[in-house]
Amino acid sequence: MELPKIPKCDIDDLTTKAIGEFGRWQFKVSFLMSIMKLPIAWYQLNIIFMAPPQEFWCVKPESFSKYSDEEWRKMSVPLVEEQPCFIFDPDMLIFNPNINKALLPLVPCTKFVYDTSVFKHTITSEWDLVCSKRWLPFISQCVLMWGVLIGGIMFGVIADQYGRRIPLMAAIAIQSITSFIASAMPHFWWWMAVRFILALASGGIGIISFVICVEVVSGKWRTTIPILYQLPFGLGSAVMALLAYWLRDWRKLEFALASISSLFLLYWFWIPESPRWLLATGQTQKAIEVLRIAAKQNKTEQNFQAMQNLLPKCNIVKLKGCGFIAFFKSKNMRTKTLLLSINWFFTGIAFFAFAQYLGTIAENIFLTVALSGIISLPGGLLCVCIIANNGRKRTLWVFKLATAICFIGIKMVPRYHFANDWPRLFFAGVGFAGLGGTVPALYLYSGELFPTVGRNAGVAGVTIFAKIAAMVAPAVVGLNVLVPDLPLIVLTITSLSQMLLIIPLPETKGYPLPDTLEQAEQFRREK
């Protein structure tokens, strides 16, 4: 006699039946996760205020004390020098300041004076990161992005194996401690080593907090919440600009950011484990405890009780986590992963390269950074409106087409032809808003295409390429030296290319999240 089969229960249905699609509990968790984007923005962008453009000149020898600083600079620095790294030999110049400078040899300057009218203290002025060392701030940012990249992978794998909560709290603690240490580092290379560890934690926080946002909500809210989650990143850059304007010292700024970041350690008392992950990994009793608390806050105790009564009749198989490499072992997931990786690379190129371009539009660095962060907010809000009705693919097409048109608009409008270059500023603002909508839409899309047991690893793996693009972005901006506005042409081509790369991917709007690798593999392009 054949035994009756135990029905398989969908994890998404179980959690939705117990606590609803969205309530007070989901709002609390989603809000707490979203404001984690504030420190992520601070630590990924604070190099702007730690090593800003800063005027400097060679120290005036005592033998030239009768001359003003301005007179000394004019007579000692060759006009052809981009930076005052070499000066005319002062031992010979002192005998006849009006001598034909072509007859004087150049000698390297060994000590510099820095303009402190805007910034009192920077890593540039403290460690003399100029002349032969002027590439070191760029190297430090590359090291930081490598740390974010590796941290996303490392913490993503750990979170898929051991849960979301403990790795998230570990990353928050590491970020806070290393930020305090970085504010007191006496040497550049030590400081950069500490920043690398900080970046590992920052990368982990970014991946885990996003995945938690995706997993605690369901229904239509799974579209809205992961997008709104991204908005505080722009707000974070605006807050950082305000702090930098007030403090004007890189050590004080780092210490202030560390102090605020340490408050996130309170999450230990507020953030539960993801019930979806607990159910997917067979930890049913722990999932019930989390869902019981959530149901009480959402006032859905009766629904929770019905779900709890259903559990004994369900066949919830314990799922084994998978790493990023596993997605390359099956045909459909390999295609999706490759296409998402290229999309993230192009998005990273556009975002980071255009952000640097945007910073050259205005002279006030504080205002420029603050506005660039605020401008990204409307793009994210608009993304919510579009994606709810038109799906993920069409939303990405709209934003990529908008950014491409804006890049073309900036290229077509001549410089200095209008007052304050207002048309170029307008196109730049709309273009940055378009990028502000692209990033959250692509995050949501990526999270929905990967299964629960490997979502951290999958999202971390494809977003790696955005971090790699951040390292390539300065070289793209540097193309302007070869051909004027060539970076805009490159960014236009990458934006239009993304529209083509999205076509083979399936639409995820209205479909349940895949829990296993098999479910993700079977989810193909709609016919």
Per-residue pLDDT for 81 more than 70?
Answer: no
CA distances, 359 to each of 83, 156, 269 (Å) = 21, 32, 40
- The stretch 339-347 carries a mean pLDDT of 91
Give CA–CA dist 197/274, Å, rounded.
26
Tokens of 466: 């955005």
Residues 6 or more apart whose Cβ sits within 8 Å of residue 150 = 200, 203
- The stretch 340-344 carries a mean pLDDT of 91
Q: Which residue has the higher pLDDT, 39 or 425?
A: 39
Q: 320-527 has which fold?
A: Growth Hormone; Chain: A; (1.20.1250)
Cβ-count burial 479-518 (b if 16+ within 10 Å, e if not): beeeeeebbbebbbebbbebbebbeebebbbeebbbbbbe
Residue 6 has a pLDDT of 40
**CATH H-level superfamily of 7-51+136-318:** MFS general substrate transporter like domains (1.20.1250.20)
Residue 3 has a pLDDT of 32
Give CA–CA dist 257/246, Å, rounded.
13
Give CA–CA dist 224/218, Å, rounded.
10
Phi, then psi, of 255 in degrees rounded to 5: -65, -40
In this prediction, residue 283 has a pLDDT band, given cuts at 50, 70 and 90, of: confident
CA-angle at 408, arms to 405 and 412, nearest 5°: 135
Q: Which residue has the higher pLDDT, 295 or 313?
A: 295
Give CA–CA dist 222/83, Å, rounded.
52
What's the count of helices (H) and strands (E) in the chain, helices before strands?
Answer: 22, 4
pLDDT tens-digit profile of 355-370? 766 655 555 678 767 7
Residue 1 has a pLDDT of 32
Give CA–CA dist 253/119, Å, rounded.
11
Lowest-pLDDT range of 111-125, 139-153, 268-282, 355-369: 355-369
CA-based nearest residue to 339, from 503, 211, 453, 450: 503
Per-residue pLDDT for 88 more than 80?
Answer: no
Question: Which of 37-41, 141-145, 437-441 tops mean pLDDT?
Answer: 37-41
Half-sphere exposure of 374 (CA within 13 A, CB side): 11
- The stretch 61-86 carries a mean pLDDT of 71
CA-based nearest residue to 319, from 97, 160, 480, 478: 160
Q: Is the alpha carbon torsion for 442, 448, 454, 456 positive or negative? A: positive
Give CA–CA dist 431/37, Å, rounded.
22
- The stretch 11-16 carries a mean pLDDT of 74
What is the β-pairing status of strands 86-88 and 56-58?
Answer: unpaired
Residue 364 has a pLDDT of 66
Per-residue pLDDT for 64 more than 50?
Answer: yes
Per-residue pLDDT for 61 more than 90?
Answer: no
4 burial via Cβ count (<10 Å: 0-12, 13-18, 19+): exposed
Return the residue matching tokens 């692209």: 438
Lowest-pLDDT range of 124-128, 256-260, 449-453, 454-458: 454-458
Q: Which helix (H) or strand (E) holds 58?
A: strand 56-58
DSSP letters spanning 143-212: HHHHHHHHHHHHHHHHHHHH-SHHHHHHHHHHHHHHHHHHTT--SHHHHHHHHHHHHHHHHHHHHHHHHH
Give CA–CA dist 127/16, Å, rounded.
56
Return the residue matching tokens 């910034």: 119
Residue 56 has a pLDDT of 80
Half-sphere exposure of 198 (CA within 13 A, CB side): 31
DSSP letters spanning 106-158: EEE---EEE--SS-SB-HHHHHT--GGGTTHHHHHHHHHHHHHHHHHHHHHHH
Tokens of 171: 């990353």
> What proportion of the chain, given as a percentage, has pLDDT over 70?
86
The pTM for the full model equals 0.78
β-bridge partners, 108: 86
Give 360's DSSP letter.
Answer: T
CA-based nearest residue to 343, from 465, 460, 458: 465
Residue 4 has a pLDDT of 38
Give CA–CA dist 296/309, Å, rounded.
17
- The stretch 452-481 carries a mean pLDDT of 77
> What proportion of the chain, given as a percentage, has pLDDT over 90?
19
Give CA–CA dist 397/79, Å, rounded.
49
CA-based nearest residue to 355, from 411, 403, 396: 403
pLDDT tens-digit profile of 241-274? 899 999 999 999 999 999 999 999 999 999 999 8
pLDDT tens-digit profile of 387-442? 777 778 888 888 888 888 888 887 787 766 766 566 777 777 777 778 878 888 88
Q: Where are the domains of the chain?
A: 7-51+136-318, 56-114, 320-527
Residue 448 has a pLDDT of 82
Give CA–CA dist 344/463, Å, rounded.
6
